[in-house]
Amino acid sequence: MLLGGIADDLTGAVELAGMLAAGGMRVALVLDDAPIPSGQDAVVVALPSRVAPVAEARDGFARAADALLGAGARMLFFKYCATFDSTPQGNIGPCADLLMERTGAPFTLFAPSFPEAERRVFMGHLFVGAQLVSNSPKRFDPLTPMTEPDLVKVLAAQTARRVGLLPLPVVAQGEAAVARHASTLREAGLSYAIADAATEEDLATLARASWDWPLATGGSNLAAHYPPIWREKGLLAPAAALPPARAGGHGAVLAGSCSDRTREQVAHFAGHHPVLRIDLARLETPAAALREAAGWALPRLERGPVCITTAGDPQAVAAAQARLGREGAARAAEELLGGLARALVAAGARRLLVAGGETSGAVIRALGIARLTVAPYVSPGIGLCAAEAPEPLALCLESGKLGPVDMFGTVLERMRA
C-alpha cells in the first residue's frame, strides 16, 4: 500500500479517494474502525473527527494510523478541508501531532491549497477567491468559523510543536529548493511548515519534494500529484477503470450544510422539484419531525426527486443554536437527516445526494454503510461513490461549499442507471 489516507470527514475522504482513483490507483474507502482491505494501492479511512472533542479525535486517528501502518502503508496522508476547518483547540494540530508520533516523521508540510476551487495560500494566509478567508462567508460557519487567515497562527495555537512557513518564492524554485528549505526549518527545531501554493504546478512541486516522506498533509489535490510520481518511480502499475456510480430507483437530496452555496443549490432545485425546509429553531421533537418529513417525502418520490433540508441563513442558524446549543443543533440536523435517509431507502430511493461533510457522515452511518467504492474525481463538490450494502446505492457526497448551483438535479440524473 503506497498511501494510507485519514480524512477528518466523509466528503473529504471521498474527494481524496476520487483523486487517487483518477490517478489510476486501486483505492478503497472505509469508515471508522472497519477492517482495512488488502490488495489496494491506497486505503482512505473516513473519521467524523473534524469537530469532535480533541481526545476523541486523537483516539480515532491513533486507531486508523495503527491499522494502516499495520497493513503496510508506506505513507500516511492527513486530509483536511481546503479552508483548514478547525476550532482553536484543534483538531488539525492534535491529530497531526499523533501522526508524527506514530510515523516517527521529523517534519511535514501543511498544504491546504485547492486552486481549482479558488482556495490558495500566500505568505501563509488563506484566500477564498480574492478574499482572505476571514472576510469570506466561511467566517459565518456554524461549527468552524474561520476568523484568522494566518494559518501559521492557526496551527501554532493547536500544537506545542514549532510552526514555520514555506513561502511561494521558494516553491517557485522547484523541489530541490523546497527540500533545502524544509531541511533548514527542521535543523532550526521546527516540525511543521505551512506551504504556500497558488497553482497546480506549485502543488506538483510540493508532491515531488515529499513523495517518499512517511507523513504528508494537505488537500486532496496535493495527493493527486503522487500517483504519476510513484508510477515514474516504478512503484505503481496502471489499474483498470472503475465503473460509474449508478443505480435505478428514486432520487433524493438531503442537505444539512448551511453554506451560501448549499442554500443557492437548494433554491435552484426548488424551481424544478419539491423542497421541504425544516426550521430547527421550531423543532418540537426529533421523532415528530421525522414522521412529518417522511410523510411529506415518501408519497412524492414516485413523481421525481425531492429535497429535504435543514439549511438556513446565518440568522436561522443563530436561532437554532440559541435554542439547542451549537452542538445540539448540529446533532439534531444529523439525526433527523440520517433517519430520513433510512426511510427513503426503505421506500425505494437508490440515488442519494447529501450536502454537507458532517451530514454525509451521519447519513452513511445511519444507513449502516462501512465501505464505499469511489468513482474517479470529476470536479470540486461532486464526490460520486457506490455502496453495496445494505442496498445497492449510488451516492453523491459533497462538502456543501462547492459544486455548481444546478448540481442537485444534474447529478441525480447522472447517477440514474
Tens digits of per-residue pLDDT, 277-289? 888 878 777 788 8
pLDDT at 241: 67
**What angle separates helix 54-70 from helix 92-103, to the nearest 10 degrees?**
30
Is residue 329's pLDDT more than 70?
yes
Residue % of the chain over a pLDDT of 90:
65
pLDDT at 207: 98
Is residue 240's pLDDT more than 70?
no
At position 316, the amino acid (one-letter code) is: A
pLDDT at 178: 98
Name the residue with higher pLDDT: 356 or 58: 58
Which pLDDT band holds residue 99 (cuts at 50, 70, 90)?
Answer: very high
13-23: average pLDDT = 93
Q: Do 260 and 332 fall within a single domain?
A: yes
Q: Do 35 and 168 fall within a single domain?
A: yes
Is residue 201's pLDDT more than 90?
yes
Q: Do 344 and 397 fall within a single domain?
A: yes
Is residue 402's pLDDT more than 90?
no
**What angle separates helix 260-270 from helix 407-414, to the nearest 10 degrees?**
70
Assess if residue 359 is contained within a domain: yes
Residue 104 Rama label (left phi>0; alpha psi -120 to 50; beta)? left
Decide which of 205, 232, 259 is a domain's last residue. 232
Range scoring the smallest mean pLDDT among 20-29, 33-42, 276-285, 355-364 = 276-285
CA dist 91 and 159 (Å) reads 10
Range scoring the smallest mean pLDDT among 15-29, 86-100, 304-318 = 304-318
What is the domain count for the chain?
2
Top mean-pLDDT range of 79-83, 108-112, 139-143: 108-112
Which pLDDT band holds residue 54 (cuts at 50, 70, 90)?
Answer: very high
241-251: average pLDDT = 81
Q: Do 68 and 197 fall within a single domain?
A: yes
Which domain, by its residues, includes 295? Answer: 250-414
User: What CATH number does residue 217 fall under?
Assistant: 3.40.50.10840
Q: Do 277 and 326 fall within a single domain?
A: yes
Is residue 70's pLDDT more than 70?
yes
Is residue 190's pLDDT more than 70?
yes
119-129: average pLDDT = 96
Beta bridge partners of 250: 349
Assess if residue 139 is contained within a domain: yes
Q: Do 51 and 180 fall within a single domain?
A: yes
Q: Do 43 and 143 fall within a single domain?
A: yes
CA dist 99 and 88 (Å) reads 19
Assess if residue 238 is contained within a domain: no
pLDDT at 237: 87
Is residue 100's pLDDT more than 70?
yes
31-58: average pLDDT = 93
Q: Do 285 and 203 fall within a single domain?
A: no
Q: Do 154 and 272 fall within a single domain?
A: no
Is residue 115's pLDDT more than 90?
yes
pLDDT at 193: 98
Q: Do 61 and 109 fall within a single domain?
A: yes
Name the residue with higher pLDDT: 273 or 312: 273
Assess if residue 192 is contained within a domain: yes
Assess if residue 321 is contained within a domain: yes
Which pLDDT band holds residue 317 (cuts at 50, 70, 90)?
Answer: confident
Assess if residue 237 is contained within a domain: no
Q: Do 292 and 390 fall within a single domain?
A: yes
Name the residue with higher pLDDT: 328 or 64: 64
What does each C-alpha distance from 28 to 37, 226, 235 come to in angstroms?
Answer: 7, 17, 18
Q: Do 226 and 291 fall within a single domain?
A: no
379-391: average pLDDT = 82
